[in-house]
């Protein structure tokens, strides 16, 4: 370890975090933290409150892991200690105890960042927009080591927007494989961190050992390949690593924010390797999935002392945080933080205040139904008048109208009767139309993507 001084270590981590986080987030969550001590490879960091500890551990694990890796501190563990509470040192096996009669114990088979402890497949909430990616992740674990099947999932390439769960699925695959065979050599590798490691190796004119280090693994989890575009030498090294692993039947899982064919600046031969197996995308979760994610989140041990969250609060959070799972979980944590700060149970009033403080928007500012209906008509290339008034069972009119009804309910939480009055229809017809859209979204990934994109563009 470069230093045993807690202040020096923490300064290195802070510097890395300052480059990743928005200034406001850094000031709010990182700046108040202070280093306490280093013992047995663990840096103890004091945080001002239990809510701050919860936020850091739930919302910033990837940022902290990146800061550790980029600072050359990948083996350093972090423990966050709430100011004013007794600190209990974690049990860390001594080097002496790690040896057996036959000699030193082998190195741990996996190098997952320890802050990713909650990234397991059983904690991933599946929705219509993530069914294929989750099924593929599960299949990689279940079929590992068995006879080859006609459907190749090597490499498995998972893509989608930030905060939707790509890294969660990837690490979950690694952990699932290790449960099946603890002897497997599994490595998690983020492209930016590989670039930093390679830069050091190039300066030392000693890149071959680094390449071999990654080629000897059974499973490679390669995260965030969309950053490869401007890294010529990094692309070359990763190509040789992938080529070696694929030739020897080793499993590779890759994540990106875009599909292989849209990766700008990547060599064609590398894109070809990315596309050899199965490509699966993750879309933003729909309303029902967002509610399920919130409820699953509240089952975490970190939330065991949190007062019950009323259903209307969960509904409000699910309606306001549509962009990503990280946004959704972050809003939930902020509501809990705000409630604890003022000493009251979580309530709709607290949720409104948390939303306004985070976004600067009035939480109750409604989106007018006409805007929803007009944007739906424009998306489906039908006239607004025909959408609202034309009596037709033709799909060219019927489907856009059903989608418009679904979006009005999803975005503005309008009563069925109010939506029905806009179209001069009975509320039961509206209910059936919305159910029809939901059913089709579950069956048709392309339709689900289209409706979700329209929803996000309106909100």
Residues making up the annotated binding site for ATP are 163, 165-167
- 29-46 burial, b at 16+ Cβ within 10 Å, e below that, comes to bbeebebbebeeebbbbb
Contacts of 294 by beta carbon, 8 Å cutoff, 6+ apart:
309, 314, 317, 318, 328, 329, 332
Give the CA-trace dihedral at 219, 166, 107, 4, to 10 degrees: 150
- Give me the DSSP letters along 325-336: HHHHHHHHHHHH
Q: Which residues pair with 35 in a beta bridge?
A: 45
d(CA 347, CA 316): 10
DSSP state of 29: I
Under a CB-based contact definition with an 8 Å cutoff, are residues 223 and 172 in contact?
no
Kind plus residue range of the DSSP H or E element containing 202? helix 191-203
The three-class DSSP label of residue 248 is coil
d(CA 123, CA 295): 11
Query: Which parts are annotated binding residues?
Result: 163, 165-167
Q: How many CB atoms lie within 10 A of CB 406?
A: 27
Backbone angles phi, psi at 163, to 5 degrees: 80, 15
- Give me the DSSP letters along 391-453: ---SHHHHHHHHHHHHHHHHHH---HHHHHHHHT--HHHHHHHHHHHHHHHHH-HHHHHHHHH
Under a CB-based contact definition with an 8 Å cutoff, are residues 174 and 218 in contact?
no
Cis omega before residue 230 (within 30°)? no
d(CA 115, CA 172): 13
Under a CB-based contact definition with an 8 Å cutoff, are residues 273 and 239 in contact?
yes
């Amino acid at each position: 370890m470069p230093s045993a001084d807690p202040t020096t270590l923490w300064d290195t981590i802070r510097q890395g975090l300052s480059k990743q986080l928005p200034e406001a987030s850094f000031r709010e969550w990182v700046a108040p933290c202070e280093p306490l001590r280093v013992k047995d490879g663990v840096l103890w960091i004091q945080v001002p409150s239990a809510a701050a500890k919860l936020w850091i551990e739930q919302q910033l694990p990837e940022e902290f892991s990146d800061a550790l890796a980029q600072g050359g501190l990948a083996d350093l563990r972090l423990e966050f200690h709430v100011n004013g509470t007794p600190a209990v040192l974690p049990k860390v096996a001594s080097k002496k105890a790690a040896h057996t009669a036959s000699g030193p114990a082998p190195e741990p088979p996996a190098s997952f960042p320890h802050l990713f402890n909650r990234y397991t497949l059983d904690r991933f909430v599946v929705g219509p927009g993530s069914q294929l990616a989750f099924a593929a992740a599960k299949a990689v674990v279940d079929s590992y080591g068995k006879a080859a099947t006609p459907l190749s999932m090597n490499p498995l390439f998972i893509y989608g927007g930030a905060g939707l769960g790509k890294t969660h699925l990837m690490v979950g695959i690694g952990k699932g494989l290790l449960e099946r065979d603890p002897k497997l050599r599994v490595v998690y590798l983020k492209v930016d961190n590989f670039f930093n490691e390679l830069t050091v190796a190039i300066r030392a004119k000693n890149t071959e050992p680094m390449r071999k280090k990654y080629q000897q693994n059974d499973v490679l989890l390669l995260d965030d390949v969309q950053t490869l575009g401007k890294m010529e030498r990094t692309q070359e090294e990763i190509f040789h690593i992938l080529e070696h692993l694929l030739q020897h039947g080793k499993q590779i899982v890759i994540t990106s924010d875009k599909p292989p064919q849209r990766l700008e600046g990547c060599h064609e031969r590398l894109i070809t390797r990315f596309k050899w197996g199965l490509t699966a995308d993750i879309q933003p979760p729909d309303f029902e999935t967002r509610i399920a994610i919130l409820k699953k989140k509240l089952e975490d041990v970190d939330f065991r002392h949190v007062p019950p969250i009323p259903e209307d609060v969960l509904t409000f959070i699910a309606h306001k945080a549509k962009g990503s799972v990280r946004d959704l979980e972050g809003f939930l944590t902020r509501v809990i933080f705000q409630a604890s700060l003022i000493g009251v149970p979580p309530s709709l009033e607290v949720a409104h205040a948390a939303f306004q403080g985070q976004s600067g928007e009035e939480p109750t500012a409604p989106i007018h139904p006409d805007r929803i209906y007009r944007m739906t008509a424009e998306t489906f290339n039908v006239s607004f008048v025909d959408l609202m008034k034309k009596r037709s069972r033709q799909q060219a009119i019927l489907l856009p109208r059903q989608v418009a009804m679904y979006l009005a309910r999803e975005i503005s939480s309008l009563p069925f009767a109010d939506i029905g009055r806009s179209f001069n229809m009975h509320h039961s017809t509206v209910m059936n139309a919305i159910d029809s859209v939901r059913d089709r979204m579950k069956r048709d990934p392309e339709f689900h993507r289209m409706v979700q994109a329209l929803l996000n563009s309106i909100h």
